[in-house]
Amino acid sequence: MKVLARYGSSKLKKLNQMFLGLLLPCAPVIMHCRAACSLSVMHKTQEQIEVFGCFLHLILCNQLLIQPVVLTEDFTVYLIYREDMLLEKVNDARARLLLDKFNYPHGSLSNIVSRLSIRLEEYFFEEEPFPHEIGVFLGYPIEDILEFIKEDGKNSLITGYWKVYYNAQNAIKIFSSFDLAKEEIYQWYLKNQRLRF
């Protein structure tokens, strides 16, 4: 955090909000409730770059992996994940059927995530269809991913962290666990790790 020490007190609130904006979406991954999350990060200003450096340190200290999956002029999309949990998701037999349709490799998780990166870049830069199989990486139930594709995102039972088509009660429990993880990380941050410049 010392790298940010040069900022005056008037910027404290803004910098802490920037840091929390990065941290809270990752809370369910940090708290072992979710295998992975995606995060769009702006890298335009020196403040953004330095706050991201602090965030990256925290992510790595929590034994998470981070891999850029899309780079644009304005932002970078990262996949932040727990390797063991994500390997389990992408190697699930039903998930593999979907991933195989889009030529995802078997074996190395890094190679599998690299294929996701290619699919996302095709969407962003070549106007290819959105790679809805990203839901596998983000821990969405395979039934909901397949039904979302079939229904073109319409007619869901409920919408939360994803659009739910089956087993709404279980999804609500998962959504609640994600919300609780965010609250726990927020309280921990306020008590112990608030950025001090």
Judge whether 194 lies within some domain: no
Total domains in the chain come to 1
The secondary structure of 133-197 as a DSSP string is THHHHTT--HHHHHHHHHHTT-S-SEESSSEE-S-HHHHHHHHHHHHHHHHHHHHHIIIII----
Task: State pLDDT tens for residues 38-83.
Answer: 999 998 888 888 899 989 988 988 899 999 999 998 899 999 999 9
The encoded tokens of residue 166 equal: 């089956």
Judge whether 192 lies within some domain: no
Predicted pLDDT at 105: 97
Quick check: 64 and 109 in contact, CB under 8 A?
Answer: no
Judge whether 150 lies within some domain: yes
Judge whether 46 lies within some domain: yes
Task: State pLDDT tens for residues 109-168.
Answer: 999 999 999 999 999 999 999 999 999 999 999 999 999 999 999 999 999 999 999 999
Judge whether 32 lies within some domain: yes
Judge whether 107 lies within some domain: yes
Domain that holds residue 147: 2-186
Judge whether 129 lies within some domain: yes
Judge whether 110 lies within some domain: yes
What is the residue whose two structure tokens read 């020490």?
5
Q: Global pTM? A: 0.89
How many angstroms separate the CA atoms of 189 and 43, rounded?
Answer: 23
